């Protein structure tokens, strides 16, 4: 009976989890949006080391400076843009997407509007949720990070990066939207280029920032659904018409 009870409880938990994902997919699919369920990954870039053990928590929470452009000797080569790892890879910008998919196993989703469904929001920081979004002939990198910017106060940072140059990024506008329980929160901005370093964008706060209380208002059983839409800017459209 004990074995049966434990197995039955595990099955019920699995059914409940699948039901929550199915419910979210059904709601957003009715609105014509694709849903991508994204599982969390602990960033190995910020894993504590023996040297860090002697530092204070506040010092450990400070992001290391980006040295992307200093490390690139050939101007035609760019470093790995995956924010999870300190990856030594360098290559041409055209093959960054292939590197992210094959080496770091980052999923890619296509569509004008998609829903980024991040699971297990309760996990301790630092934790990342990452996908690639293919839209309008370009690839974008969406990063959601849970991080303690101040000791004991974890926050969520969400940003969209274009896998391209800063000039190309200026041609687009992205929108992140949270919508639940008659509450709606939107963030709209121009995406940054992956050449500018995700860590710098988050440390500057030039992204959607949520404290824990606000994230809980929009979460559903530990999952946070973020609607994503990417459009071309008005300037870019005017140039096309000319």
Q: Where are the alpha helices (DSSP H) in 88-229?
A: 96-102, 166-169, 198-204, 212-218
> Contact 164/138 with Cβ under 8 angstroms?
yes
The model's pLDDT over 42-67, given as tens digits with 9 standing for 90+, comes to: 766 655 543 333 333 333 444 444 54
State residue 47's pLDDT score: 52
Minimal CA–CA distance to 94: which of 191, 194, 204?
194
- Domains of the chain in start order, with CATH, are 31-39+74-232 (2.60.210.10)
Mean pLDDT on 151-159: 92
State residue 75's pLDDT score: 64
Where is 20: in which H helix or E strand? helix 2-30
Band the pLDDT of 242: cuts 50, 70, 90: very low
HSE-up of residue 57 (Cα within 13 Å, Cβ side): 10
Rounded CA gap, 51 and 14, in Å? 40
Statement: residue 2 has pLDDT above 90: no
State residue 35's pLDDT score: 83
State residue 175's pLDDT score: 96
Band the pLDDT of 140: cuts 50, 70, 90: very high
Per-range mean pLDDT, top range of 26-30, 68-72, 121-125: 121-125
User: Is cis: bond before 126, omega within 30 of 0?
Assistant: yes
The answer, as to whether pTM is greater than 0.85, is no
Statement: residue 191 has pLDDT above 80: yes
The model's pLDDT over 70-120, given as tens digits with 9 standing for 90+, comes to: 444 466 788 888 888 888 999 998 999 999 999 998 988 888 789 999 999
């Amino acid at each position: 009976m004990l074995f049966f009870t434990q197995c039955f409880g595990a099955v019920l938990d699995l059914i409940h989890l699948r039901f929550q994902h199915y419910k979210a997919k059904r709601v957003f699919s009715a609105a014509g949006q694709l849903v991508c369920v994204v599982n969390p990954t602990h960033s190995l870039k910020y894993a504590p080391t023996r040297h860090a053990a002697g530092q204070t928590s506040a010092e450990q929470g400070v992001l290391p400076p980006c040295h992307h452009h200093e490390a690139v000797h050939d101007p035609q080569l760019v470093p790995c843009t995956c924010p999870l790892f300190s990856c030594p890879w360098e290559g041409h910008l055209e093959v960054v997407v292939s590197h992210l998919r094959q080496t770091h196993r980052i999923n890619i989703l296509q569509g004008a509007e998609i829903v980024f469904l991040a699971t297990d929001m309760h996990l301790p920081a630092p934790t990342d949720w990452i996908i690639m979004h293919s839209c309008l002939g370009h690839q974008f990198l969406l990063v959601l990070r849970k991080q303690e910017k101040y000791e004991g106060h974890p926050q969520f940072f969400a940003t969209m990066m274009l896998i391209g140059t800063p000039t190309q990024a200026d041609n687009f506008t992205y929108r992140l939207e949270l919508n639940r329980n008659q509450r709606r929160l939107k963030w709209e901005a121009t995406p940054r280029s992956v050449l500018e370093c995700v860590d710098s964008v988050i440390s500057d706060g030039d992204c959607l920032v949520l404290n824990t209380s606000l994230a809980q208002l929009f979460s559903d059983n530990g999952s946070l659904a973020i609607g994503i839409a990417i459009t071309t800017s008005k300037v870019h459209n005017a140039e096309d018409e000319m």
